[in-house]
């Protein structure tokens, strides 16, 4: 009982607010190295980087570390089986939960922000609908940002809903109403980011609108707006700084106030 009370107190008093990132299909825990490098440029507040790779048996392999001074570290969770497809997304959500459970026990954070590129956003959505309730009373998910996430897979006609989108809509009431969601698409042209149809990314609105506190859809264009380059897109980096990184937001507000 004493141990349990101590853990509750540690979690309640924790200042840690990690950003947990999940890459898309065929991508590894190295996927966001350049993104983190860009986030750490021109700032005194460096975000440390911890990578967790989940095996098909649920085993966890760690690399990197979280600095003791860092209250907003970046944690990347990847999967040995990183293949595409709805059945795999379900498995990856289960593996994400294993990693999340271990991380929450080890670091005892009481809130976090979620970021997913491509299928990573779909994995987060499935996790929110099927696993988050295990933690909702003690850990708040503050923000979900999805980047080029194909909520209707390769289907560009919203009238032809895939089984995955149908299921997301069916279980959307499980998504916390306090959540803020940003859905970002790439604009290589007016129809897709070169891989994912824009209408498929826009299908996120059928899952989040009128369910979460705030839902915002945005499109980035210009250089590095194609699907595979989106995590390195400078506009995306700025959007993460503005809407995901809590401490950066606080610092900017203080600067504006002091002016």
The C-alpha atoms of residue 88 and residue 94 are separated, in whole angstroms, by 10
Helix or strand holding residue 111 (H, E): strand 111-117
* pLDDT-based confidence at residue 126 (cuts at 50, 70, 90): very high
pLDDT single digits (tens) 164-214: 999 999 999 999 999 999 999 987 665 665 678 899 999 999 999 999 999
- Percent of the chain whose pLDDT exceeds 90: 79
| Full DSSP string of 56-90 | TTS-EEEEE---TT-SS-EEEEEES----SHHHHH
How many CB atoms neighbour CB 113 within 10 A? 22
The C-alpha atoms of residue 65 and residue 63 are separated, in whole angstroms, by 7
- Residue 9 has a pLDDT of 60
Which domains can be identified in the chain, with CATH numbers? 2-258 (3.40.50.1820)
* pLDDT-based confidence at residue 11 (cuts at 50, 70, 90): low
Sign of CA dihedral 74, 11, 174, 57: positive
Instruction: Supply the mean pLDDT for the chain.
Output: 90
* pLDDT-based confidence at residue 2 (cuts at 50, 70, 90): low
* pLDDT-based confidence at residue 253 (cuts at 50, 70, 90): very low
Identify the DSSP state of 245.
-
The C-alpha atoms of residue 160 and residue 162 are separated, in whole angstroms, by 6
pLDDT single digits (tens) 47-86: 999 999 999 999 999 999 999 999 999 999 999 999 999 9
The C-alpha atoms of residue 32 and residue 211 are separated, in whole angstroms, by 29
- Residue 226 has a pLDDT of 81
Helix or strand holding residue 52 (H, E): strand 49-54
């Amino acid at each position: 009982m004493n141990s349990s009370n101590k853990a509750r107190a540690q979690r309640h008093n924790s200042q840690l607010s990690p950003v947990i990132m999940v890459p898309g299909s065929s991508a590894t825990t190295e996927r966001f190295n350049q993104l983190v490098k860009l986030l750490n440029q021109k700032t005194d507040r460096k975000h440390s980087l911890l990578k967790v790779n989940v095996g098909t048996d649920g085993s966890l392999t760690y690399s990197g570390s979280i600095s003791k001074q860092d209250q907003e570290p970046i944690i990347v969770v990847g999967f040995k089986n990183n293949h595409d497809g709805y059945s795999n997304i379900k498995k990856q959500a289960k593996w994400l939960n294993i990693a999340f459970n271990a991380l929450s026990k080890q670091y005892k954070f009481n809130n976090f922000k979620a970021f997913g590129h491509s299928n990573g956003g779909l994995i987060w959505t499935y996790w929110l609908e099927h696993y988050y309730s295990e933690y909702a009373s003690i850990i708040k998910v503050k923000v979900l940002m999805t980047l080029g996430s194909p909520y209707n897979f390769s289907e560009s006609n919203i009238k032809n809903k895939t089984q995955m989108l149908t299921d997301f809509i069916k279980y959307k009431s499980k998504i916390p109403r306090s959540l803020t969601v940003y859905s970002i698409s790439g604009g290589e042209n007016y129809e897709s980011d070169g891989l994912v149809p824009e209408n498929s990314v826009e299908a996120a609105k059928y899952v989040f609108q009128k369910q979460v506190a705030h839902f915002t859809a945005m499109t980035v264009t210009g250089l590095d707006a194609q699907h595979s380059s989106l995590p390195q897109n400078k506009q995306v980096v700025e959007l993460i700084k503005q809407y995901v990184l809590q401490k950066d937001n606080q610092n900017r507000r203080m600067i504006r106030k002091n002016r």
